[in-house]
Every structure is written in structure tokens, then in C-alpha cells.
Chains A and B, each alone.
With several copies, the nearest count.
Chain A
Amino acid sequence: MKLGVFVNQYTKTNSTLDRIKTDNLGIILVQNGVYHAALKENGKDSDILSKAAKVYALSEDVISRGLSPDKLDKKVTVVDYNGLVDVIFNDYEKFIWL
């Protein structure tokens, strides 16, 4: 299943996300979810970055928060709304918004 998961909050864990197993998993960081790509708590990366998934972050939400798109974790692909439309139509079939 090609599943895109929108993460819109900066909370530590979600037991549903942790249990989803699928070959084609995308994690799309939006709103306060973008902190996962930018912050290291006590020097440690967010757990979300260690999942077997392609990770995106929405640039408009990154810059709104005073974060810099080029300082995000290397694993993360930054997309704007235009790029996100293509991700939605080309790369995934179903979505959940956590």
C-alpha cells in the first residue's frame, strides 16, 4: 500500500503510526510537525526520522516558524504546496492525517 501520513503536531509518538507496516510509506511533515525535521531534543533526532519512510516537510510551514529549509535533517525533502500536489497524486494512494 502506498500510504502518505501527514504529521501535523510535534508530539513524541503515535501508537498507530508506530504500528503501520507497509512497503511504500511517506511521512509528510506539516504545521507543527515540521519541528521533527528541525529540532534535536537533547541532541537527539526525532524518532520519526528513523522510520523506514520517505520524509517530506512543507516549506511554507518551515519558514513560518523561523526555521531554515537548508538546515533541516538531510533525510528530509522540502516541498512547497506545488510540490506537495505532485507527491499526493504521483507517489501515494491513501493518506492519513495524524
Chain B
Amino acid sequence: MATIKKLLFLVDKPPYKSENSRLALTHAIASQTVEIHLEDEDNVEPVLAFVGDGVLNCIKGQKALDAYGITSLEAHIKNALLLDLKVIFCKEDLDKFGLTEDNVIMDAEDIGGDMIANILPFADILGEMEAADHILHF
């Protein structure tokens, strides 16, 4: 019987200072190829949720490649959307920082993605924690 397990990648740290949020995204995206390690039909369903200072990863227009020659967290988030991962930004935390849909990475249209990020209240993220089989807190 096929088993799908839900892994919640909960990102609570800001970008760049530590490697945390970057590793959250690269590991979540690695779910695309996890099947080779699993039994037939089994799979992993990753959900990415940004909370607290973690929502600062979601600000649009990051120029880390120009300034430091490294991939921006923006590019990673767009990749996650391109690959149809569920991406959630905590509404209360965006509100706290005065960030709106206009300031954050809501889609990956420019690289051909269809998936849209979700701005949801913390209660819904708590729901994802309940629903997850395991939580990876970055």
C-alpha cells in the first residue's frame, strides 16, 4: 500500500546570516528525487512554511548574485514554486514587518511556474504542524 508522508519545513531564521533557510529550500526541493530511495508508490510531500524572522527570506528583488555571487533565497523560493511545492508565508509576521503581497515572492511566473505562494495565518501553519508526520525546523 502506498504511503505518503508529509514533511513540514518550518523556516524561522532570516536569510544569508546562517545557512539555515538555504538548506531548508534545497532539502525540500530534493523531495523531487526521493522516490529512488523509497518503495514503489511511497513518497514524501514537503510543505515549506516561513514564520517569524523567516518571512524575511520572502522579500522580492534580492540581489545576492550581483553583490556576492551567490544564489539568492528568492531564486530558491521560485524554484520551489516552479516544482509545485506548497509554500506558505505567515500572515501575522508579514503584517508585523509591514510586508504585503506586493513585496514578497508570490509566484514564479517569470520562469514558467504555475504555483502561487500562500499567505496564511499562524493558526493554519499550526494546522500544518498537526498534519505533518515530521517537522524540520530551520
Contact = CB atoms under 8 A, between A and B. Distances in A.
- The answer to A–B direct touch (Cβ < 8 A) is yes
A61 B67 contact: yes
Given A16-B52, A32-B14, A65-B15, A42 B66 contact: no
Interface in B81-96: 93, 96
Given A16-B12, A42-B96, A66 B126 contact: no
Interface string B60-89: 111110111000101000000000000000
B126 A20 contact: yes
A10 B137 CA distance: 18
B101 interface: no
B68 A64 contact: yes
Contact-size category for A = 20 to 34
Contacts of A95: 135
A98 B53 CA distance: 13
Nearest to B58: A66
Contact of B56 (A35, A42, A94): A35
A35 B64 CA distance: 15
Interface of A: 1, 3, 8-10, 14-16, 19-22, 31-32, 35, 39-43, 60-61, 63-68, 94-98
Interface of B: 10, 12, 14-17, 51-53, 56, 59-64, 66-68, 72, 74, 93, 96-98, 122, 126, 129-130, 132-135, 137
